[in-house]
Amino acid sequence: MRIKPFDVGVESVTLWQHEDEVHLPADGRAAPAFLPEVQALDEIVNRPRLDERLPDLLIPANLDPGLLEPAALSDVRAGLQLFFERESQAADLQPEDRDLFGAAGRLLGDDMTMDTEVRAALAMLLRG
């Protein structure tokens, strides 16, 4: 039994256009042309790899780049800490929700305290 070689493949790639499928005379009415849906096939065949999808999963597309500046990030954390502390004192919340808001406020407060300590230690190191 003889096995044929595997040299059969795509010889050329052409771009299908609506005009290519119209074979009727110009004065008559043209029938609707069938064109393959390229986007649907491309979504399946050309799926992004994990290393290509990972940045999109980690960094949201609608993130304001100004928030990544240290001063803006610090202001946002301080504002969120105040918001969580105020919400933990709200009377219309369940006790569990108050505890969650209080814990989030304490976590942000601890984070800002550690940030301040790291800045002070870095300044001492730079001074020598």
Instruction: For residue range 5-25, list pLDDT tens digits in order.
Output: 666 666 666 676 766 665 656
Whole-number pLDDT of residue 124: 92
Give the angle subtended at the CA of 70 by the CAs of 64 and 76, to the nearest 5°. 65
State mean pLDDT over 35-50.
73
Q: With both helix axes pointing from N to C terminus, report the angle between 70-88 and 95-127 in degrees, rounded to the nearest 10.
A: 150
**What does pLDDT average to over the chain?**
79
82 Cβ contact list (under 8 Å, min separation 6): 105
> What is the largest distance, in Å, between two alpha-carbon atoms of the chain?
88
Whole-number pLDDT of residue 42: 72
Whole-number pLDDT of residue 50: 78
